[in-house]
Amino acid sequence: MNKRLFFIAPLLVFLVLAGYFAIGLTKDPRKLQNMLTGQPVPEFTLVGLQGRDDTGFKSADLIGDVTLVNVFGSWCVACRVEHPFLMTLKQKNLVPIHAIDWREEDKSAGPLWLKKHGDPYTLAGDDPKSKAAISFGVTGAPETFLVDKKGIVRFKHIGPINQQLWQTTLMPLIALLRKESSS
Amino acid sequence: MSAELGHFALILAMLIAAVQATLPLIGAQRNMPTWIAIANPTAYVQFFLTTLAFGCLIHVYLISDFSVVNVVQNSHTDKPILYKIAGSWGNHEGSLLLWVFILALYGAAVAAFGRNLPPAFKARVLSVQAMIALGFYTFMLLTSNPFERVFPAPLNGQDLNPLLQDPGLAIHPPMLYLGYVGFSIAFSFAIAALIEGRVDAAWARWVRPWTLAAWIFLTGGITLGSWWAYYELGWGGWWFWDPVENASFMPWLAGTALLHSAVVVEKRDTLKGWTVLLAIIAFSMSLLGTFLVRSGVLTSVHAFATDPSRGVFILALLVTVIGGSLALFAWRGPQLKSTGLFQPISREGALLLNNLIMTTALAAVLLGTLYPLFIDVIGGAKISVGAPFFNAVFLPLMVPMIVAMAIGPFMNWKRGDILPALGRLRFTFLFALVAGAAAWSVETDGPFMGVIGIALAAWLGAGVIAEISERIHLFRAPLPESMRRLGRIPRSTWGMSFAHFGLALAIAGMAGAGGWKVESIQTMKPGETVNVGGYEYTFEGAQEGQGPNYTILFGKFTVRKDGEVFTVLEAEKRNYPVTRMPTTEAAIHTTLMGDLYAVIGDAEGDEGAYVTRIYYNPLVVWMWIGCIVMMFGGTLSMTDRRHRVGVPHKRQHSSASSDPVSSTS
């Protein structure tokens, strides 16, 4: 190892970091929640849940319609809190909701949970090893992504969604996005 | 009145810091004793003034002076007195005042207790301390004045975030800051050494107790924060890899590495540049922690100040302090000549391995914490990296480290032999296998990492005991001889053993709670029973009550084991009318084998049914005990004889080389 380099490297690394900080400061931190900048959903392919008809859930499924992607887990308490509201959305047929069933230790845990509490999902994929969750940048369950017809994430919400969020944010946004063309 | 007095005290403290930052340093460079002598009194005066300012802030909180913006935003007349006091640092401006107060406290402590330091060196150290302080005073006075008035004064305040109204969290920030800011001393020592171009055994011995003190407080601060999350957030978890938690964990990793590499400098006169770099990194991470939490450059659930103009100032401060010190390191570092040579398989090698793993872990945590920022800057979406990433990267790094931790202390300095060391650990190895097998047999398709964790904890814990037995020739020498040897073990060695053993206990707790947690969420009507982890919980119904500044919902559970009443748990849900925020207070019954943990949620229907969450968290208490044992180990090491020798009464100007070198290994 070049000895000189050992003494200079820390400074160089720090200067690069500081550059990132400087640019980072000019960005609005609240975009973490709002993510309206419009990035396409990351590529993912997940196998379906046991006992459901669907063959799986992949990024291509998100093209063509305005959808919600909901990250949940049978182990997640807040998901249990959120669940009745998702069921309401399903009963009123307001928007297709797809699921990423995250970090189940047992393949049957997610399906059992849905059998017990009701299944609001159109498509559902099993993600025990966080393959999709990491690329989505999931910080915890539940998390919900609003995806437009082109498969671009337009809104992200951390934590349970509820009536209030639906009325103030999700519903107007969905109505707006439905007017956009899908090409 | 108090507010103005505090404000003036802060301005004066800034001016004093400006004097302390320059004159003693110039005096040391030009060898002018009268200028050098300015260092001590300025450090004392600065401490007095920040104490006064801090006292004033607490006073305006105590008398609920709502003409001060800070009090309006964070207090309320109905708030209990403890939280009125704690409220003074539970916000951005107040926490900065706490920060500089502790910085000045450490500065005054060096002035008072550093009597064995050469005066010129001490003057440089105190000047560097004052430079850091100067940056923070300017920051406060220009962007974040805690004493700002508001007119007209409102009738009452907006109350403190109820999550923060908790005894654990009231003392958490001071503890954490004593850790964060404590690394400023190691930093100042490193900068002073770079200026002098000399790092030797004496330097390593001076810096050690201060680093240990910071490390002990930081360990305590992290533990308290984690404990708070465990019982207050009500999810049964204790660590979430949240950016704010990472911000406190990164200086801990750097500080731990520093403690180990400083040993090598002291005993073997090598790894000097590396040790100085670690001292700079440890404090840089503390500053970065402040930056991460305060600037809004990353968002997190409990970042409570996001204001870009402050962010710009903090960034400038960071670039000056960290960039400046690393530039000094690049310029002066190559002059630090190491003399000791060693083989890869040796005590030095083991300590270096610890350092490499610690810094790799640090880099991984740093990368994970900053990743969202990198992606954001290069045009990607704002994302944040969750626990899966950290667990996937961090846990595999810890496995070789724990394995090596038991072996390292058996190694000789300079050149060790791996096979005899492993031979002495054969019973330890067997014990670890048995413990792992026992953990596995509890639940045969149980969690892989849990079993590994239990085996590693057993390996490390037994390894520590094996090392002590070896040291005292247990069973090889007659018992009285062994006892004599036991009594002669220096405190620093006991410190190491306790700290390592504490970590073993903590790992067992983490593995148990991470691996075998049982949880059950259900709606319960009064009289209904659920079985969780072998205990039957009967819900006795919920009733309302009134706290000092909140309403309470009590949920009562009778817990039975094998039909006998085992305990009664009373979970609380509090509602704070001023902020309209609810908090949960989990009911926890701790046993050595695991915690019984119950939380009451929302009412469902009108038959008195509630959503309840019940957890069985195995071995959690071992984690807290382990952390306390680690802190105790640190304290033992700090009070080692070699840190005290040559200190007070007889000699006033003892120089480094005349200190007797203790023989500890």
Q: What's the ipTM? A: 0.79
Q: Tell me if B415 is assigned to some domain.
A: yes
Specify the number of domains making up chain B: 3
Bridge partners (DSSP) listed for residue A39: A153
- Do B507 and B526 share a domain, yes or no? no
| CA–CA distance, B251 with B289 (Å, rounded to integer) | 8
- Do B41 and B185 share a domain, yes or no? yes
Chain-centre distance for alpha carbon B417: 35
B612: nearest CA partner in chain A:
A77
**How many residues belong to chain A?**
183
Q: Tell me if A6 is assigned to some domain.
A: no
Choose the mutation target among A77, A82, A103, A135 for the interface with B, i.e. most B CBs under 10 Å. Answer: A77
Cβ separation of A25 and B295 shorter than 8 Å?
yes
- Do B48 and B152 share a domain, yes or no? yes
Cβ separation of B385 and A134 shorter than 8 Å?
yes
- Distance, in angstroms, between A141 CA and closest chain B CA? 10
CA distances from B82 to B58, B65, B75, B160, B217 (A): 11, 16, 12, 12, 21
Q: Which helix (H) or strand (E) holds B570?
A: strand B564-576
> Which residue range forms the structural domain that includes residue A64?
30-179
Cβ separation of A10 and B308 shorter than 8 Å?
no
| CA–CA distance, A142 with A80 (Å, rounded to integer) | 9
Which chain B residues touch A136 with a CB distance below 8 Å? 383
- Distance, in angstroms, between A179 CA and closest chain B CA? 24
Q: Tell me if A15 is assigned to some domain.
A: no
Cβ separation of A25 and B376 shorter than 8 Å?
no
Find the CATH number of the domain harbouring A110.
3.40.30.10
Cβ separation of B613 and A77 shorter than 8 Å?
yes
- Do B541 and B444 share a domain, yes or no? no
Choose the mutation target among B338, B382, B597 for the interface with A, i.e. most A CBs under 10 Å. Answer: B382
Choose the mutation target among B291, B304, B370, B383 for the interface with A, i.e. most A CBs under 10 Å. Answer: B383
Specify the number of domains making up chain A: 1
Tokens of B55: 């006292």
Cβ separation of B312 and A21 shorter than 8 Å?
no
Q: Which candidate from B297, B326, B601 shows the least CB-CB separation from A25?
A: B297
Which chain A residues touch B312 with a CB distance below 8 Å? 25
- Distance, in angstroms, between B376 CA and closest chain A CA? 7
Which chain B residues touch A11 with a CB distance below 8 Å? 323, 326-327, 329-330
| CA–CA distance, B556 with B575 (Å, rounded to integer) | 18
Residue percentage of chain A with pLDDT more than 70: 89
Q: What is the pLDDT of residue B173?
A: 84
Q: Which candidate from A29, A134, A153 shows the least CB-CB separation from B381?
A: A153
Strands of B413-550, DSSP E: 518-524, 529-532, 535-546
Q: Tell me if A83 is assigned to some domain.
A: yes
Q: How many CB atoms lie within 10 A of CB A45?
A: 13
A158: helix, coil or strand?
strand
- Do B23 and B91 share a domain, yes or no? yes
Kind of pairing, strands A97-102 and A124-127?
A: parallel
- Do B121 and B268 share a domain, yes or no? yes
Which chain A residues touch B611 with a CB distance below 8 Å? 80-81
B296: nearest CA partner in chain A:
A29
- Do B512 and B530 share a domain, yes or no? no
Q: Which candidate from B311, B322, B382 shows the least CB-CB separation from A25?
A: B311
Q: Tell me if A7 is assigned to some domain.
A: no
Of residues B222 and A31, more confidently modeled: B222
- Distance, in angstroms, between B246 CA and closest chain A CA? 14
Q: Tell me if A159 is assigned to some domain.
A: yes
Cα-flanking dihedrals φ and ψ of residue B523, to 5°? Answer: -95, 130
Q: Tell me if B661 is assigned to some domain.
A: no
Q: Tell me if B293 is assigned to some domain.
A: yes
User: In chain B, which stretches have pLDDT less than 70?
Assistant: 160-161, 163-164, 234-236, 291, 293-309, 376-385, 444-446, 579-581, 644-665
Q: What is the pLDDT of residue B216?
A: 97
Cα-flanking dihedrals φ and ψ of residue B521, to 5°? Answer: -120, 130
Cβ separation of A18 and B319 shorter than 8 Å?
yes
- For residue B184, give every residue at least 6 positions away whose Cβ sits within 8 Å of its Cβ, in sequence order, or none: B103, B106, B129, B132, B283, B286
- Distance, in angstroms, between B381 CA and closest chain A CA? 6
| CA–CA distance, A28 with A32 (Å, rounded to integer) | 8
The strands making up B518-524's β-sheet, listed across from edge to edge, are B518-524, B609-618, B594-604, B587-590
Query: Does the N-terminal peptide bond of residue A142 adopt cis geometry, omega within 30 degrees of 0?
Result: yes
Q: pLDDT (tens digit, 9 = 90+) per residue, B506-547?
A: 999 999 888 888 888 888 889 899 999 889 999 998 888 888
Bridge partners (DSSP) listed for residue B597: B588, B615
| CA–CA distance, B38 with B508 (Å, rounded to integer) | 51
Choose the mutation target among A1, A2, A5, A7 for the interface with B, i.e. most B CBs under 10 Å. Answer: A7
- For residue B65, give every residue at least 6 positions away whose Cβ sits within 8 Å of its Cβ, in sequence order, or none: B2, B3, B71
**How many residues belong to chain B?**
665
Q: Which candidate from A15, A77, A138 shows the least CB-CB separation from B386?
A: A138
Cβ separation of A32 and B388 shorter than 8 Å?
no
Q: Tell me if B648 is assigned to some domain.
A: no
B475: helix, coil or strand?
coil
> Which residue range forms the structural domain that includes residue B313?
2-333+348-382
- Do B12 and B131 share a domain, yes or no? yes
Q: What is the pLDDT of residue A25?
A: 66
Q: What is the pLDDT of residue B495?
A: 94
- Residue B299: closest CA among B226, B363, B236, B247: B247
| Range name among A64-78, A124-138, B290-304 with the lowest pLDDT average | B290-304
- Do B475 and B374 share a domain, yes or no? no
Q: Tell me if A77 is assigned to some domain.
A: yes
pTM of the model: 0.80
CA atoms within a 13 Å half-sphere pointing along the CA-CB vector of B236? 30
Query: Helices H, strands E: what count in chain B?
Result: 22, 9
- Do B328 and B407 share a domain, yes or no? no
Q: Tell me if B342 is assigned to some domain.
A: no
Q: Tell me if A8 is assigned to some domain.
A: no
Q: Tell me if A5 is assigned to some domain.
A: no
